[in-house]
Amino acid sequence: MVLPSKNTSPNDLLRYGRVTPFEGLMKLNRYCLLGLVLAPTLFFRPSGCWAVPIEEDDSRLTVWWISGPVTAYHDERDETARLRITEEVDDGDNVLTGAKGEALLRLPGKAYIFLGPHTKIHISRLRSEDKNLQVRLNLLTGDLWCQLDQSPQNMTFEVSMQSLICRCHGTLFEAIRQKNAVRLNAFNGPVVTVSRGQVKIAKTGEITQYIRDKFSYKHRLKNSDNDLLAQWKAHLADILAKTPAKNSLNP
């Protein structure tokens, strides 16, 4: 590039990019005006423009109904307290029913979870991942009923017991854990159970049993099991008939 000399004419200065003081002042005014226009967009730009907002997980298990002594350990607050209706339990919490205690938990719009007497669960997973709700309840002891509103969609619903992971693909099942024995009753829809690489499927009307770290022979539900199912359905219907007025939450 050839630099202009001292004797370069005004026209040549314009050609080389050189301007008169008046022209320079006019350019400076234009840049200042442009800066005033852009400044508000820099200082008052919405925060969402700088980063993708993180969606908070609003899914919580809500205490829908209680009978008798029921307590919960709240991991976030590191405290154990008596559980009350409309309270919430979350990822990392424990729920324990007494000898005459029962509790009905509600996952709004998705499922009812019923805990019978002498039942303890640990909520090991309750969060959303890639728009898919992940639910895993660890049944430590007792009797657990799970009634889903519909077959899981955009949701993974699991119950773990010992080395078992049971994934629900239907709408109603019961899990029972007593010492070294586990029983899973599939009342409506299949439940897939995995343990140490082994996979068992209990279809509607079938039972999966796991005793002393081994799967046992698969059985069909008996008439006594169906009678128990009818009693539980009547119990749930009675609870739901009494509780809507007490709960302002969306069922």
DSSP label of 234: H
Whether residue 3 lies inside any domain: the answer is: no
Examine the domain organization and report whether 118 and 234 are in the same domain: yes
Residues 6+ apart with CB under 8 A from 163: 195, 196, 213
Examine the domain organization and report whether 34 and 68 are in the same domain: no
CATH of the domain at 233: 2.60.120.1440
Q: Which residue has the tokens 């350990």?
A: 73
Per-residue pLDDT of 12-53, as tens digits, reads 444 444 445 555 545 545 555 555 544 544 434 333 322 333
Tell me which residue range forms the domain holding 225: 61-242
Q: Which two tokens stand for residue 106?
A: 């509600």
What is the maximum span of the chain, computed from C-alpha positions, in angstroms?
A: 112
Quick one: how far is CA 70 from the chain centroid?
A: 23
Q: Which two tokens stand for residue 140?
A: 């430590």
Instruction: Please give the model's pTM, rounded to 2 decimal places.
Output: 0.74
pLDDT at 3 over 70: no
* Whether the Cβ atoms of residue 71 and residue 93 lie closer than 8 Å to each other: no
Residues 6+ apart with CB under 8 A from 193: 164, 165, 166, 167, 184, 199, 200, 201, 202, 208, 210, 215
